[in-house]
Amino acid sequence: MFVRNKLRQGESFSSRYGAGKSVSKSKKHSFRDHSVAAGVKRAESSAQPSPRKDQSSDPTSPNLTSAIITLVVGPDQRLFAAHEDVLCNSSFFQAACRGQFLESHAKRINLPEESPEILSSVLEFLYKGDYYPKLLHNKRKDTWELEDRGANGNNESTIYHHAVGGNLLKDTVIYCAALRYDLPELGRLALRKQGLQSGIQVSTILSSARYAYAQTPDTDSKLRAHYLALIIRSKNTFKRSGTMQMEMEEGGRLFFDLFVAMCNHIDDLGTISRSPFTR
């Protein structure tokens, strides 16, 4: 399902604003491990033993005894299975499991517009608190980085999306899915991971930005702002891009917002240059 475009000259950039991947062999901890570490330490230092909690009351331990729900995904009707209690961490799936979209004769939810790769990542998050590639904490450098895949460090940052007929940034599509399924923590995780990506083609960035604008409300101030800042910071690459020129000639809300953001950026630079504290 993954389709890779041939890199054209002048059509890629390496982000100077994302963290690079470390080659250090120091032990790394996942995003989920890091988030619960403090709680574990407090529990170990307690002098009095506490009563053991039922596993079902722990939000990080899914109930694996609930009913199995079948999900039919994408135009090819790929089949997925998940526990009802796990799905119900999403208000979207909770409503579906209660009968709003659930077929009466079978525990089945149809998602014809969804990408199988994206739903797989959503389910992985619901079960494990993260999705591949994992977000790892480098304790030695005190930085976050993405889990590598193989010797070449390829972590499949893009996917082929049937709805647009081309490649999109995987984390952008997951962010938009998190909005649909009401999973805000997944959205924050996807945005954080996207900030660590580098070496993405200009055409893929612009296609992903258009997808983000189509799939998010006008009130979104996170993913849209991420793309605006990325284009402004890498303006020297984008202004040489023939793809950028064609996209701008097509127009759209993205480029009006970009114009406003660049005007604000110029105003800020002017304010700094006039400051009596600037040398």
Which pLDDT does position 47 carry in this prediction?
37
The secondary structure of 27-89 as a DSSP string is: -EEEHHHHHHHHHHHHHHH-SSPPPPPPGGG-TTS--TTS-EEEEEETTTTEEEEEEHHHHTT
Whether the CB-CB separation of 180 and 133 falls below 8 Å is answered with no
- Nearest residue to 209 via CA among 253, 249, 177, 259: 253
Residues of the chain with pLDDT under 50: 1-26, 35-60, 150-153, 277
DSSP assigned state of 183: -
Which pLDDT does position 21 carry in this prediction?
40
Which pLDDT does position 69 carry in this prediction?
93
Classify 96 as helix, strand or coil: helix
Which pLDDT does position 55 carry in this prediction?
42
- Nearest residue to 133 via CA among 58, 189, 187, 201: 189
| Burial zone of 77 (CB within 10 Å; 0-12 exposed, 13-18 middle, 19+ buried) | exposed
Query: What would the pLDDT profile of 178-215 be if each residue is shown by its tens digit?
Result: 999 999 999 999 999 999 988 888 889 999 999 999 99
Query: What would the pLDDT profile of 98-119 be if each residue is shown by its tens digit?
Result: 876 666 567 899 999 999 999 9
What are all long-range contacts of 202-206, with beta carbons under 8 Å and residues at least 24 apart?
A: 202/11, 202/12, 202/13, 202/237, 202/238, 202/241, 202/243, 202/244, 203/5, 203/8, 203/11, 203/243, 204/5, 204/158, 204/166, 204/167, 204/168, 204/169, 205/169, 205/230, 205/231, 206/243, 206/244, 206/247
CA–CA distance, 252 with 114 (Å, rounded to integer): 24
Which pLDDT does position 46 carry in this prediction?
39
